Amino acid sequence: MSKKTTELTIPQKMAVTIAKAKESRKQAKDEAKLALLENGKYVEYLASIEDESEQVAKLTTIMEQLNKMKPIVTNDGTKYGVNIFPVAEYIFGPVFSRVIGIINGSSSMFTDERQAEFEAITGLLHLSATKARDAIGSPAYYSKGNLANAIPSNGDCMDTAVTAVCDSIGVDLAYASKVNVDTVARWFKVSEDKAQKQYAEFKKIEIVNDDNNFTIED
Alpha-carbon 95 to chain mean position:
6
Tell whether 171 is covered by a domain: yes
Structural domain that includes position 72:
22-210
Is 35 in a helix, a strand, or coil?
helix
**What are the tens digits of pLDDT across the range 158-213?**
999 999 999 999 999 999 999 999 999 999 999 999 999 999 999 888 776 665 65
Tell whether 160 is covered by a domain: yes
The whole-angstrom separation of Cα 188 and Cα 141 is 10
Tell whether 43 is covered by a domain: yes
The whole-angstrom separation of Cα 191 and Cα 214 is 36
- What's the domain count of the chain? 1
Full-model pTM: 0.78
Q: What angle do CA 127, 133, 137 make, to 5 degrees?
A: 150
Query: What's the average model confidence in pLDDT over 77-101?
Result: 94
Strand duo 141-143 + 146-148: pairing: antiparallel
Tell whether 13 is covered by a domain: no
Closest CA to 72 of 103, 112, 102, 32: 112
Tell whether 159 is covered by a domain: yes
Tell whether 15 is covered by a domain: no
Tell whether 93 is covered by a domain: yes
Tell whether 2 is covered by a domain: no
